[in-house]
Structure 1
Amino acid sequence: MATIGTFTKSEDGSFSGSIKTLTLNVKTAQFKPVETDNDKGPDYRIFAGATEFGAAWKKTSRDNNSYLSVKLDDPSFPAPIFASLVDAEEGYSLIWSRRAA
């Protein structure tokens, strides 16, 4: 697992920050809340400027900690990127995790 992003939470419930890996460098990423009644739909849509490139769902860990389960995808990616947005000492950290095959 590796930290690939840092974010801050706004009063409107959105998250703003940056995402950086060896091949991805999004200086201004935003998690915007989605208002919907669809239980299976995402709670957030993720944007780089006007381009949507991911979604996030609210989850609770076994230790009863809230986090966001994140899926980033783009035609330029060889495969989707899965991560978790978790509370950190200063703001929030986007933690990358590889899905089991």
Structure 2
Amino acid sequence: MGTIEPNSPYYINIYDCSAVVDINSLEATTTISSIGGLVGRALGANIYNCYATGSIHINAGNNRERIGGLCGRFGATAGTYGETMEYCYSTIDVAGTTWIGGLVGQYYG
């Protein structure tokens, strides 16, 4: 999934999902991106019982990349509800040069 962000103040729910990924970027990126094993950016979302396996290796150069095993950027935006992550895990091998995390690259909110 790419970006999950509601246009209204209601929840977006993701249940019982999994992903096997192999994401590699050898050249430096030129923009700010959010990269995750399950979803790149999830703002105002509830994620339950999900997991991801595999690898994510990103060469961000001097740019800011949000790289997470499950979700690159996770949290809430003004006027939305949500931002719950329960019973989730990641066994992804995450490598990068900026904001990285085994589960979430950057928490926003």
Task: Give TM-score scaled by structure 2 length.
Answer: 0.23
